[in-house]
Amino acid sequence: MLLTVTVTLLEGFGTTLKLFLLTLVFALPLGLVISFGSMSRFTPLRCLTQTFVWIIRGSPLLLQILIIFYGPGLLFHLPLLPRFTAALLSFVINYACYFSEIYRGGIQSVPRGQYEAGQVLGMTPSQIFFRITLLQVIKRIIPPMGNELITLVKDTALVRVIGVYEIIWTGESFTKKGLIWPLFYTGLFYLIFNGGLTILFRKIEEKLDYFK
Amino acid sequence: MSVLEVRNLEKRFEHTRVLNDISFTLEQGQALSIIGSSGSGKTTLLRCLNFLERPNGGSISVNGETLFDANDPATQDERRIRAKRLHFGLVFQSFNLFPQYTALENVTLARELLSKANGSESKAEIRDAGRELLAQMGLADRASHYPHQLSGGQQQRVAIARALALHPDILCFDEPTSALDPELTGEVLRVIRNLAEQKTTMIIVTHEMAFARDVADRVIFMDGGFIVEQGDPKEVIDNPKEERTRKFLANYARN
Ligand SMILES: Nc1ncnc2c1ncn2[C@@H]1O[C@H](COP(=O)(O)OP(=O)(O)OP(=O)(O)O)[C@@H](O)[C@H]1O
Ligand SMILES: [Mg+2]
């Protein structure tokens, strides 16, 4: 029985993991683009980006998943997106907005004197970015990023509302057979995975501890 | 020919005029001190010279080459500013060292990046030169320290070495000691005094009147964005001609 449960849960966890990793692959760079938009000196672009970020961060992810899945069909009579694609799309948009705010905080926390010191030493804007500010930004965003990734892992459970069967759904399916322990077992998957993430981020923080 | 010639420089921020009709020259090997009360435009002047601010009027020439002329758009090409900046070095009030690099790396980074572009020097040569500069600043044993492991006075001396590494024609200091505890100002002033003895061409914005008087070859007193008085430092500081200079110095003596 333990083996059957393990295999079933692993299948569900595969979906969870796939959603987690693909969200990162797309949302990490997209978030950077959005953060540039929200810091733009071109006011219309900045306002538009900030409004978009406010809408996405201010409304429930659950609602966004439902709208992206059902919206195109009901509004424009388009075919439905595949369930996993719809789930991934909503996660990418949602998390890119959260990441963009983290990036923005990190970028804006680098003192202006750092850019100016680079400028008067004749560095190009890209040299200033890659050689001076980037590492300082990374150091500052690592702790909030760690938090955000743990939230992301747990948020993946939401996709069951459009019928993407992730680990909690598979765990719950055993309650029909009168079993509660698979749910605890499910929790263990999350704990171990998030424990790993926590250790990883602590390691990165320690690596960057050599400067202040 | 003067190393630096500044003619009728003007700078406005929105509607406030921060620099008005600033004209002066600086000769090779001279040290020029700029004194003046808070808000008189001293920092803004240095920032204009280093192309961190764009003046609204006037011109800046170095060694006879016009680097900036408000009436000549050809001198304002953004892409050429980077090369023009290298005529000047700037030491900031707040050091602005790069925290993720050691003292030595702070000194060598810009020169390494430059020689990557034109391939003139090897990394080893640049490092040796950097070590030598740090030694000259009395920091030979601090080369592999990170900025947060150094005192303010040491950080500022690294910043001076960093600016010197690019061999600027004119080295500018913006109140190099005012972010330091009083017991640390001496070591930084000593380094600047040494540079003056070696005939480094410098502009030093400072509130250290005694230092300006002893070390500088010339002094400029600024008030409200104007140059009120300029000349020999002993003359200006001991026998100011202008009422405003007298008031400023009297205020100064009292504090
Ligand atoms: N970026 C800016 N925008 C608007 N006003 C500015 C800006 N920078 C400086 N100013 C104004 O210009 C004036 C001169 O400032 P500046 O910093 O050059 O004075 P300062 O002589 O260096 O003073 P301090 O001795 O306090 O350093 C001040 O009134 C200041 O408020
Ligand atoms: Mg100032």
Mean per-residue pLDDT over chain A, rounded:
94
Which pLDDT score, from 0 to 100, does residue A85 have?
94
Q: Residue range B214-224: average pLDDT?
A: 94
Which pLDDT score, from 0 to 100, does residue B255 have?
64
Coil, helix or strand at residue B225: coil
**What is the β-pairing status of strands B170-174 and B202-205?**
parallel
Confidence of residue A26 (pLDDT cuts 50, 70, 90): very high
The fold of A2-210 is MetI-like fold (1.10.3720)
Task: Decide: A131 and A123 in contact? Cβ < 8 Å.
Answer: yes
Strand residues in chain B grouped as ranges (E): 4-13, 16-26, 31-36, 57-62, 65-69, 88-91, 170-174, 202-205, 218-223, 226-231
B88 neighbourhood in chain A, CB within 8 Å = 120
Confidence of residue B211 (pLDDT cuts 50, 70, 90): very high
Which pLDDT score, from 0 to 100, does residue A32 have?
94
- Which one-letter DSSP state was computed for residue A133? I
Query: Model confidence over B153-162: pLDDT tens digits?
Result: 999 999 999 9
Confidence of residue A96 (pLDDT cuts 50, 70, 90): very high
Q: Residue range A102-120: average pLDDT?
A: 95
Minimum distance, in Å, between the CA of residue A36 and any CA atom of chain B: 22
ipTM above 0.90, yes or no: yes
Mean per-residue pLDDT over chain B, rounded:
93
Coil, helix or strand at residue B195: helix
Q: Determine whether A169 is exposed, middle or buried from the number of CB atoms within 10 Å of its CB (0-12, 13-18, 19+).
A: middle
Of A111, A122, A212, the CB nearest to B85: A122
Of chain A, the percentage scoring pLDDT greater than 90 comes to 80
Minimum distance, in Å, between the CA of residue B159 and any CA atom of chain A: 10
Residue B204 CA to ligand 2 center (angstroms) comes to 11
Q: Residue range B29-49: average pLDDT?
A: 95
Dump the DSSP string for A37-105: HHT-SSHHHHHHHHHHHHHHHHS-HHHHHHHHHHHHHHHH-PPPPPHHHHHHHHHHHHHHHHHHHHHHH
Whether B187 has a pLDDT exceeding 90, the answer reads yes
Confidence of residue B77 (pLDDT cuts 50, 70, 90): confident
Which pLDDT score, from 0 to 100, does residue A3 have?
86
- Which one-letter DSSP state was computed for residue B212? H
* CATH dotted code for B4-97+168-254: 3.40.50.300
Q: Where are the domains of chain A?
A: 2-210
Task: Decide: B122 and B156 in contact? Cβ < 8 Å.
Answer: no
Tokens of A45: 């672009």
Q: Residue range B44-53: average pLDDT?
A: 96
Whether B132 has a pLDDT exceeding 90, the answer reads yes
Coil, helix or strand at residue B220: strand
CA distance B92 to B147: 15
In this structure, the residues whose C-beta lies within 6 A of any atom of ligand 1 are B 13, 18, 36, 38-44
Whether B209 has a pLDDT exceeding 70, the answer reads yes
Strand partners, B22: B9
Total residue length of chain B? 255
Q: Residue range A51-73: average pLDDT?
A: 95
Confidence of residue B79 (pLDDT cuts 50, 70, 90): confident
Task: Decide: A5 and A68 in contact? Cβ < 8 Å.
Answer: no
